[in-house]
Structure 1
Amino acid sequence: MGVMRDFGRLRGCLIVILIVPLVHSHVRFVCPRPRSPRTDLTEDQQNGACGLGNPEDSQRDEDVTVVSPGPLTVRFEETHFHTDSPFHISLHSYDNDTHWCSLLNHIPHNNMASVDNPGCKDSVYPIGHCTKSTYYVTVNIPDVSCELCYLKLSFITLDKVPMSKLPCQEPNGTCKTYVSCANIKIQGHSSGGSDDSHGLETCTNYSDNLLGKWPYTQQQVFKATLSPEVEATFTFDYYDMSLSYHIPTKTIGTVMSVELYKNGENKTTLLRQSITVDDNTDDGVTGKWKNPSIPLPQLIVGNYQVKIVTIKKTFQSSLKYLRDMHQPGVYVPQRASYSKQGWLNGPEFVGPGASYSEGVEPFGKCAPQPYYYISSMVPQLSNLHLNLSQHPPHGVLSAAFTDNRVHITAIFHGLSEHAQLVTLQGPVLAETDIQIDTVKVCPLKPQS
């Protein structure tokens, strides 16, 4: 009877139990909005490309982000930490996945990230709590027309793969891959191709989808043994179809020329570059042949010889295949430096020598809001009391501060030469140093 009385006291009360799904989390889109807040989704034949099965038409229309061709910043978050594990962003069609387009592959991992934020591992909306493991990257949306498309984020986890089994392959290979998908509609500027594939057959060439020289495009590395202590490295890059070389000079002396010729009786020189004394640095000699007329398969099987002439001696060696780097669908441990906000932060992306600054420039509504400033530009005058009405401003400068970088746009009038240097002066602007991105100067006609 006592037990009955205890239950009786609960009569007429509403008992609410809140259950928050907790899964062994991994990765998800934050913006564009993903189809699901779950982060444990994997791709297989049973669960479909996005780990949620094949969607009905009603599901396809939910949370669709309309985008235009061109740069688009996406945001995603890691919810379960996997060191050295790269990412891949691709574009697909729900109606026909015969053709799909790789937008950015081999995105390196941030090994300094942390997933200890409250709510980071919850697989429910709202999302975006993983502020210490957030990633921002700008991809290039191809000029296609697609009503029912989706972006797929793949997280190729390598931290549990034994070194003896690396590299691993994906998809349907030896990698453990987690996925997150976001529905998008692309309003292309052109027709984009046939209706059945929504034009995705026109963007299957990966190099065409890049915004510039992505540091992690496919490369094949070769070596030429000049001596037991010295090896020259030759790299074929699929992005610009170039063959570059690096020759250590510490022990062989000043290099005067580099030649490449085919094995056989007729040793005709196919490629040759003369090297000046100034080209020889402490790090060695580097150079590049663009669009070399050499069949790549013949390079791989070792049909070519390298001839390097120095001041003291001539070296000859066979060119031998060494390894592939950043091959599509083949992955090895990969990491890079990131800013606190989640942007790639190495010299390849920020600074005057950046080769892919476009990947860290914010575009679209998913990008964090920058802080904008504008200023008029006047000549530097020694007489501070000069009447400025007699010397009108020479231009206008705008600065957009995002994270630890600033993007500067300026228009100058009346300059007799190009701008050479941009300097920011004043108090400390952020916790980290402001880095100046690549300065692009567009010459203007003199104003009359």
Structure 2
Amino acid sequence: MTPVELDSGNTAWILTSAALVLLMTPGLALFYGGQARSKNVLNMMMMVFGTLATVGVLWVLFGYSVAFGTDVGAGLLGNPVEFFGLSSMLTPEAQTDGLPDLAFVAFQGMFAILTTGLIAGAAADRMKFNTWMVFTLLWATLVYFPVAHWVFDLDNGWIAAGLGALDFAGGTAVHINAGVAALVLCIFLGKRRGWPREAMRPHNLTMVMLGAGMLWFGWFGFNAGSAGSAGWEASYAFVNTIAATAAAIVGWLIVEQIRDGKPTSLGAASGIVAGLVAITPACASVSPIGAMIIGVIAGVACAYAVGLKFKLGFDDSFDVVGVHLVGGVIGTLMIGLLATEVAPDGANGLFYGGGFSQLGIQAIAALAVIVYCAVVTAIIVGILKATMGLRIDDDSEATGIDEGEHAESGYDFSSLRGGSSLGSSHSALSAPTQVSATAGKES
């Protein structure tokens, strides 16, 4: 019999939020897949969907235990066997504050899957699929699960409980973490054939816009769901998520209008993601006006940051570094400036009389995640490069990873072409018609 103290309303909200966050993974697959060239679209989507398989299995086996088990290392790690297989959480009595423990397991598991999938955008067009799948297993185990313990375990994690950093829904654990890993991975992988001499244009901007819309929709579960209940705190985070994202679109499009002369659909989609990333850690710390300030700063800064790859020479295919790393750092640090005690987190930043202390705490949290993720990811990728190899062969890169790695084609028009082969359908679609908003001018 279900215990009478179970809060069915909050349970429904958390399960709904978990489903919303799950929807972000196919949304991300569409967002990245549309930016890929037509000959690589299926591989790009498979890389994102692959994390549902690998990280989903690990989360049930031991990932939740590492992230939320009883602390065994001064705030660094949860007991990896405490909830192994979730076998101790299967009774109706397994609940906390009226919420079934399994509902929280489901919600946080979607975070782990999405975070790992974000990295895929930096490795487009050139990474072996099998190596990617092994990478997701190792990275989630050695990087994401421990960092999630630091940030999301509010009672034990050294960043949340010890340092006192504010990160409502994962600016550090999700976006800075994924952005740093993306930078390391694309450096080890090297540049795509022809980059940056050739413009690697998106093949389907309609797909990109649809993916961005799905991400925004799912992000309400990401941010508002992190309140843990259906109430004022969730409502506050929800409104701030709208405000910041809208302002970020404006900021990005203004940059494009001034810099390039035309606002683009890819710029609008990228602005959506930049705003969502930046408000993620701060959605329960700042006012709606503060959220809009964060959003417009993120939109402008990320629009310029995506061009750094051309100046510094790292081939981050779909700007994971420029959007997620830069946006995550902006959101994390702006808490130290714009946090207000009227918000649910109840802290004041520098501009509200709180001094520099919270800003310093936020900076330490961001730096710690950057350093840890960079070092461990470099070790993981270095080992995989020496053993399995990272890159597909030159022929597969030239003809397309969809054929080379999956024996499939994203678009097969053979019936319209008198029985032409899969290979010829790729060549027919290899000349995209619209310039990338982030690469066209620079390349």
Larger Rg over CA atoms: 1
Bigger strand share: 1
Bigger helix share: 2
Bin for the TM-score computed over the shorter chain: under 0.3
Relative to the length of structure 1, the TM-score reads 0.22
Higher relative contact order (CA 8 A, sep 6+): 2
Relative to the length of structure 2, the TM-score reads 0.22
